Amino acid sequence: MNYSVVLASASPRRTMLLDQMGIAHSVKPVDIDESALANETPEAQVARLAEQKAKTALARLHDEDALNENTRVLASDTLIAFNGVSLGKPEDKEDARRILSMLSNNEHEVLTAISVASTTKQVTQTITTKVTFAALTNDEIDAYLDTGEPADKAGSYAIQGIGGQFVKAINGSASAVVGLPLYETRQLLREFGAV
């Protein structure tokens, strides 16, 4: 049986990682409100967002008459957690400076949730990777902010970009930090018969 995999994300990194795994897919980005709910833990938030993205994409495919029993929607969300608090994308340059200063010379967690949905079921899994940052000087932070890279990145950095130079150690899935855990994604798609 031929299954069609639909990636509910506009992230070029997630598309690249699926391509790297040899998984043919189409892209159906969705926009949802990513705000945290009252008293929501980072773990609960990242799982809820991935689930909601998958459900939203399924509903859109249904509305467009493009959904059938062979469709598998893959959604993902990534958050940075520091001391139990979620760090999303920075509001502005000063917020990015504050976040990078917090992460400097500290360990934080990168939480990536993946959710696969079909017309009959949905399964969501969260992968936690511990990342240790080097001590950053104010000049290093300023130079990084000037590149513009932190502006739309969770935790104000991109490990696959210039920000990767600040990472001293990773304990867990490196691909999850980029946005899509390769091993877990393949296993979840296999559970749905899509690979």
Place of tokens 């976040």: 99
C-alpha closest to that of 131 among 151, 155, 114, 153 = 155
Q: How far apart are CA 179 and CA 150, in angstroms?
A: 15
Taking each helix axis as running N to C, give the angle between helix 182-191 and helix 12-20, from 0 to 180 degrees, rounded to the nearest 10.
70
Which residue among the candidates 77, 92, 146, 152 is catalytic per the annotation?
77
Q: How far apart are CA 80 and CA 63, in angstroms?
A: 33
The answer to whether residue 65 is catalytic is no
**Whether the Cβ atoms of residue 21 and residue 184 lie closer than 8 Å to each other:** no
> What residues are labeled active site?
77
